[in-house]
Amino acid sequence: MEALDLDGLKTRVKIKVDEYTPSGVSHSFDDYLEPMLNESADELIDKAPKYLLEPSALTLTDAKHDDDLYYIPVPSDYSRLYAVKFPLWAKPVYHTISPEHPLYELQDNEYTKAGYGRPVVMIRSDYPVGGSLQRYLVCGKVLSGALPEYARYIQYKEAENMPDVLSEALTWLAASKLLQILEYHDQAKVAYDNHTAEIQNKMR
């Protein structure tokens, strides 16, 4: 997927903000453009359709196996799971469950925990590493010694590295944030609605 030029993105945001700024009013917001674009990129990565985002492979160097579970360290740029599939699993897993999820505690029960026919991927902090808690994707059920056929995730990206197909949604979101800062709340809502419409159009 094509990477975007940061200056081009900034220009698009300026044009959108100018469209919704009252005639004859000018603002200096250049210093906000890059932070707003990157903040918008993070937000967009979290909610954009996965098929529009290029996945990255999870590193298995420090992965470990214990009691039918496979632990994959979560990288610092992790946004969400793309897909994990082990050889004996009946199907891939595309979403993680958290400790707050009702199904999470079932994984500790011998009779209700996931098997090869209904695999699950949990996300949790395991033990202190270098003074902080290391997060893991915990995959079950996994045969000892088995490696995933694939293990991919969606990573956070800088705005200029977002796929071109999301550039309109990205710049509308950044424009909405800037208009909110400038206290043009009605215009900010219109810009955000345009952002939402762009996402919905990509999901058709």
Assessment of whether the complete model's pTM goes beyond 0.75: yes
The burial class, CB within 10 Å (0-12 / 13-18 / 19+), for 26 is exposed
Q: How far apart are CA 91 and CA 71, in angstroms?
A: 18
| 20-159-5-57 Cα dihedral, nearest 10 degrees | -150
3-class SS string, 118-147? CCEEEEEEEEEECCEEEEEEEEECCCCCCC
Phi/psi at 73 (5° precision): -60, 140
Going by C-alpha positions, the residue among 64, 43, 27 that lies closest to residue 199 is: 43
Which pair of tokens denotes residue 47? Answer: 């909610």
Q: What pLDDT digit, counting tens, does each position of 19-61 carry?
A: 888 776 666 778 889 999 999 999 999 999 999 999 999 999 9
What residues of the chain score a pLDDT lower than 70? Answer: 1-4, 24-27, 127-132, 204
For residue 156, what pLDDT is reported? 95
- Sheet of 150-155: strand order equals 56-57, 150-155, 78-85
Provide the 10 A C-beta neighbour count for residue 28. Answer: 6
